[in-house]
Amino acid sequence: MPTSPPRPLFRRRKANAGTPWAILALATLITGGYLVAQEKSGHGRAPLLTFQTGDTVRAIDAGGLLVITALFFAVVGAIYLIFPNLFHRRLNKPLGLVHYLGTILGTAGVLLIWQVRMSSAGITSISLKALEACLALLCFAQAIFLINMVWSSFRGKPV
């Protein structure tokens, strides 16, 4: 009786549209975890965001904000991965690239400006304008993502 060759333990997998998001989420999560560990040991900075709920003042530090951002990146990566299976169509690649780069640049700009703002005496009008520009870029990138999803669900290339 002929036997089939043994299957390799690790198969080589092709990268798909969710792979860059997964790598970005993992890198952001590791960075956020490192910052959380620094802040727990007493070597961290002051919190980036503070807000009040009732009588309690809550604070989000840089590490916590990076962990939340990593969760967002993982969810978007999962959407890019699952979309072709749900709609049997592919997302538009150039629009996906614009969304990816806009999200990275916008998020990095917002986090960098917040870090600089917390380390300096206060926020200036220049840093406020830069923060608004980064937030506008981030919102534009998410609008591109929504347009890409809607357009591709009807007109995208079949899988």
Block residue for tokens 């870029």: 137
Residue ranges per structural domain of the chain: 19-155
| CA atoms of 115 and 87, how far apart (whole Å) | 40
CB 32 within 8 A of CB 65: yes
pLDDT of res. 51: 67
pLDDT of res. 33: 78
pLDDT of res. 13: 64
pLDDT of res. 143: 96
DSSP state of 18: T
Radius of gyration of the chain (CA): 20
The per-residue pLDDT for range 85-96, each reduced to its tens digit, is 889 999 999 999
pLDDT of res. 99: 94
| CA atoms of 129 and 110, how far apart (whole Å) | 11
Count how many Cα atoms sit within 13 Å of the Cα of residue 49 in the half-sphere of its side chain: 11
Specify the pTM: 0.74
Regions of the chain short of the pLDDT cut 50 = none
pLDDT of res. 34: 78
pLDDT of res. 36: 73
Question: 17 phi and psi, to 5 degrees?
Answer: -65, -25
pLDDT of res. 48: 62
| CA atoms of 151 and 157, how far apart (whole Å) | 11
- Chain centroid to CA 30: 13
Which one, of 93, 96, 75, lies nearest residue 141 by Cα? 96
